[in-house]
């Protein structure tokens, strides 16, 4: 703005003609009455500076600013002693104490977002000396316009400030009242957390965690916080990530649905996460699923009891004894209880174990079969609990144990009576909540599995003789399934013969077993049960005649060639002796081991897999 001429030194340059002002308008012309131009200029600047200063102060209200501003205006005018001012804003008046509206008026507008929302008026409340019509200077017009602009800016700033505060307040109320946990993370550190988040992770107040890293082990339940951010790695994600986690809440385990969304906060990437407790929904879902599974199982039992079955899965047999077995299998499959299967060697115990697993709720998880007779006491932990890399020489990598492999599924303990008392105790602890540790690890793990076991002999005998812990016995034998030997269900033989022949490549011209052969098969006693029948049929198809050798035909003795080395000859002789012993005992391995003078365990190790 150009310097304003003083009252005394007003010149023609500063006193421009206003078309609205009559020729008679007075101008302060005399040098003797005008203060100097510099002091006039200082008055203007003081006024503008004072008004600008008002909105530096952020904690004051708009009316306070307007009232102070209006009081600053008269002093900048040519005749401050005659001047008064008024700001009219949105229906509200702010005026100097001496305010009086007269015909000597100067006005400017206050504008907000292009809208006329108020006015600033300066009046001379009585006629100033030497003035007729328009006593105001051109510079005062500029000054008033500058004041109007500044007040418009104050108004805009105040309104924006209010809008921001209101939106912040709305956001705060919203996030503080919602039941969902909310957290904002930037640069890997918490910038905001709401009370629900604090409650979820056992943090007493938000300040405890603000500015801490996501993985900081100090605040609240740090392990669970870190767990809920595991899915987003280093917090830099491009798209929404959702997952379900389980958190421990007082007295219960809660299912929490976590949703991480990448956002921009203060112009930089950040992560906004919500944590919703969906335990109730999840429990309802699980209950519904359990009910559906139960209905499904009941339906299957019902269907099976409606008509006589000739098979269940891979198990064949239409005899009444086998109908009873099918029913027990389906009933066992409808529960999650432990099942113990009894029957002679080769009678189909492992098939039954598979059937229970395949008809049960765990069918989509693994079925892990372990021959307990072949497990050495010293290797029990390594085999059942697994090991970590470096746990012993030769442990080049981490390896899971049977319990890890069967997690969610079934662990089938074949020849369960061969587990020693020590092994039973370790197994019991591992499955009964005590957990287990892999060799070389300090972490305790737990597993969720169903145990199905099998034995040739009644386990009660083992308990009575002190070879089985009674707690282990009760743990594994909740449901009992007894398999009949083949000699007690001979009516199933034709069905089984037909089944096995379909799987063997028959020589040209043979499509079925001749009648007399079938008669012989029906008369035979089958000490090796169905396994023996399968092997006899295989031999029959190959040799053309029946040979009831042993249930373990793999061990058929053969003459030793002269050029054989001692080690191979010893092995062959051993196999031949084992075959004979098994043949003599009708496949009963316990008796065969006794005949050979070795332990059952030693016999198992020497046997090839069935
Ligand atoms: N009812 C059956 N229907 C069809 N095949 C059967 C039946 N029972 C047994 N088998 C067959 O006989 C063989 C031996 O069965 P499995 O291994 O289940 O017997 P097991 O009682 O577990 O024997 P072991 O006590 O010697 O371990 C397998 O090849 C199996 O498929």
User: What does pLDDT average to over the chain?
Assistant: 84
* Statement: residue 347 has pLDDT above 70: yes
CATH code for position 55: 3.30.450.40
Give the domain CATH number at 340. Answer: 3.40.50.300
* Residue to substitute in 350, 481, 485 for testing ligand 1 pocket (most ligand atoms within 8 angstroms of CB): 350
Average pLDDT over residues 558-563: 62
Answer whether residue 23 is part of any domain: no
46 lies in some domain: yes
The CB of 150 under 6 Å from ligand 1? The reply is no
Q: Is pLDDT above 90 for 467?
A: yes
Same domain, 465 and 519: no
Q: Tell me, yes or no, whether 530 lies in a domain.
A: yes
Contacts of 456 (CB under 8 A, 6+ apart): 342, 343, 344, 345, 415, 417, 588, 589, 590
316 Cβ inside 6 Å of ligand 1: yes
Does residue 602 fall inside a structural domain?
A: yes
Domain identity same for 476 and 509? no
Q: Locate the ligand 1 atom nearest the alpha carbon of residue 499 and give its number.
A: 4
d(CA 608, CA 606) in angstroms, rounded, equals 7
Specify the residue with its C-alpha closest to ligand 1, atom 9: 348
Is 414 a pocket residue for ligand 1 (Cβ < 6 Å)? yes
Domain end marker among 129, 160, 191? 160
Which is the closest atom of ligand 1 to the Cα of 317?
A: 1
Q: Are residues 255 and 198 in the same domain?
A: yes
Whether residues 384 and 509 share a domain: the answer is: no
Output the six-digit token pair for 52.
């600008």
Least confident of 26-35, 314-323, 353-362: 26-35
Backbone angles phi, psi at 451, to 5 degrees: -105, 130
Is 26 a domain residue? no
Q: What is the CATH number of the domain that holds 199?
A: 3.30.450.20
Per-residue HEC secondary structure of 287-307 comes to: HHHHHHHHHHHHHHHHHHHHC
Q: Does residue 296 lie in a domain region?
A: no
**Strand positions, DSSP E, 165-301:** 181-186, 189-193, 241-249, 252-265, 268-277
How many percent of the chain have pLDDT more than 90?
Answer: 46
The two beta strands, 339-342 and 479-482, are parallel
Judge if 263 and 315 occupy the same domain. Answer: no
- Number of structural domains in the chain: 4
Query: What is the secondary structure of 413-454 as a DSSP string?
Result: EETGGGS-HHHHHHHHHHHTTS-B--BT----B----EEEEE
CA dihedral (414, 416, 422, 425) in degrees, to 10, reads: 100
Task: Based on the fold, state whether residues 458 and 333 are members of the same structural domain.
Answer: yes
Same domain, 88 and 145: yes
Q: Is 456 in the pocket of ligand 1 (CB under 6 A)?
A: yes
- 349 CA from centroid of ligand 1 (Å): 6
Q: What CA–CA distances, in Å, run from 396 to 378, 391, 503, 598?
A: 19, 9, 42, 34
Same domain, 445 and 324: yes
Find the length of the chain.
610
Task: Say whether 189 sits in a helix, a strand or coil.
Answer: strand
347 lines ligand 1 (CB under 6 A): yes
Q: Of the residues 312, 341, 346, which should be mutated to test ligand 1's pocket, given the most ligand atoms within 8 Å of the CB?
A: 346
- Confidence band of 280 (pLDDT split at 50, 70, 90): confident
474 lies in the same domain as 520: no
Q: Are residues 245 and 336 in the same domain?
A: no
Instruction: Average the pLDDT over 583-589 and give the result.
Output: 74
Residue 346 has pLDDT above 70, yes or no: yes
Q: Given this model, what pLDDT does residue 149 score?
A: 92
Whether residues 511 and 468 fall in one domain: no
Mean pLDDT, rounded, for 302-324: 80
Q: Which atom of ligand 1 is closest in space to residue 492's alpha carbon?
A: 1
pLDDT of residue 297: 65
Report yes or no on 495 lying in a domain. Answer: no
Give the tokens for residue 179.
């039941």
Taking residues 481-494, what's their average pLDDT? 95
Is the pLDDT assigned to residue 430 strictly greater than 90? yes
Taking the C-alpha atoms of residue 456 and residue 588, their distance in angstroms, rounded to an integer, is: 9
Residue 607 CA to residue 579 CA, distance in Å, equals 10
Which residue range forms the structural domain that includes residue 268? 178-277
Q: Which tokens sit at 152? A: 């418009």
Nearest CA to ligand 1 atom 12: 531
Regarding whether 474 and 356 lie in a shared domain, the answer is yes
Of 120-129, 302-311, 316-325, 428-437, give the lowest mean pLDDT range: 302-311
Is 600 within the bounds of a domain? yes
Residue 450 has pLDDT above 60, yes or no: yes
User: How does residue 549 score in pLDDT terms, banded at 50, 70 and 90?
Assistant: low
Q: Is the minimum distance from the CB of 351 to ligand 1 under 6 angstroms?
A: yes
């Amino acid at each position: 703005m150009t310097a304003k001429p003083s009252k005394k030194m007003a010149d023609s340059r500063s006193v421009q003609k206003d078309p609205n002002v009559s020729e008679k308008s007075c101008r302060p012309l005399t040098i003797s009455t005008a203060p100097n131009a510099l002091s006039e200029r200082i008055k203007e600047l003081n006024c503008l500076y004072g008004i600008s200063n008002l909105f530096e102060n952020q904690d004051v209200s708009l009316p306070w600013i307007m009232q102070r501003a209006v009081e600053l205006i008269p002093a900048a005018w040519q005749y401050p002693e005659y001047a008064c001012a008024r700001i009219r804003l949105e229906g509200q008046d702010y005026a100097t104490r001496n305010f009086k509206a007269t015909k000597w008026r100067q006005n400017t507008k206050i504008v907000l977002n292009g809208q006329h929302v108020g006015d600033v008026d300066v009046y001379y409340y009585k006629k100033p000396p030497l003035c007729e019509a328009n006593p105001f200077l051109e510079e005062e017009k500029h000054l008033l316009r500058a004041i109007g602009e500044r007040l418009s800016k104050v108004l805009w700033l105040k309104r924006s400030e209010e809008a921001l505060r209101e939106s912040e307040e709305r956001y705060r109320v919203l996030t503080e009242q919602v039941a969902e946990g909310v957290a904002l993370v930037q640069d890997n550190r918490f910038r905001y957390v709401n009370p629900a988040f604090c409650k979820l992770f056992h943090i007493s107040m938000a300040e405890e965690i603000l500015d801490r890293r996501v993985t900081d082990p100090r605040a609240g339940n740090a392990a669970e916080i870190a767990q809920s951010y595991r899915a987003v790695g280093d917090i830099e994600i491009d798209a929404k990530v959702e997952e379900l986690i389980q958190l421990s809440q007082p007295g219960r385990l809660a299912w929490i649905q976590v949703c991480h969304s990448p956002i921009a906060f203060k112009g930089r990437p950040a992560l906004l996460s919500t944590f919703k407790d969906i335990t109730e929904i999840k429990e309802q879902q699980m209950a519904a699923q359990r009910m559906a599974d139960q209905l499904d199982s009941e339906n299957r039992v019902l269907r099976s009891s409606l008509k006589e079955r000739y098979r269940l899965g891979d198990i064949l047999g239409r005899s009444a004894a086998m109908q009873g077995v099918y029913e027990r299998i389906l009933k066992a499959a409808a529960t999650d209880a432990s099942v113990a299967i009894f029957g002679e060697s080769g009678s189909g115990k492992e098939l039954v174990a598979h059937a229970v697993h395949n008809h049960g709720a765990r069918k989509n998880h693994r079925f892990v079969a372990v021959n307990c007779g072949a497990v050495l006491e010293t290797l029990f932990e390594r085999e059942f609990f697994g090991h970590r890399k470096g746990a012993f020489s030769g442990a080049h990598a981490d390896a899971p144990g049977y319990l890890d492999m069967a997690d969610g599924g079934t662990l089938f303990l074949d020849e369960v009576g061969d587990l020693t008392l020590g092994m039973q105790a370790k197994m019991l602890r591992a499955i009964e909540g005590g957990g287990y540790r892999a060799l070389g690890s300090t972490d305790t793990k737990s597993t969720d599995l169903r145990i199905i076991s099998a034995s040739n002999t009644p386990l009660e005998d083992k308990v009575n003789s002190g070879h089985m812990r009674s707690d282990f016995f009760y743990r594994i034998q909740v449901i009992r399934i007894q398999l009949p030997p083949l000699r007690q269900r001979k009516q199933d033989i034709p069905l089984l013969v037909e089944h096995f022949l379909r799987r063997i490549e028959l020589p040209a011209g043979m499509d079925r077993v001749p009648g007399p052969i079938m008669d012989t098969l029906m008369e035979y006693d089958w000490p090796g049960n169905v396994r023996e029948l399968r092997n006899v049929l295989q031999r029959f198809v190959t040799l053309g005649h029946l040979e009831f050798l042993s249930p373990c035909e793999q061990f058929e003795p053969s003459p030793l060639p002269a050029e054989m080395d001692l080690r191979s000859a010893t092995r062959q002789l051993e196999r031949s002796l084992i075959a004979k012993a098994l043949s003599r005992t009708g496949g009963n391995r316990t008796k065969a081991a006794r005949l050979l003078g070795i332990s059952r365990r030693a016999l198992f190790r020497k046997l090839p897999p069935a």
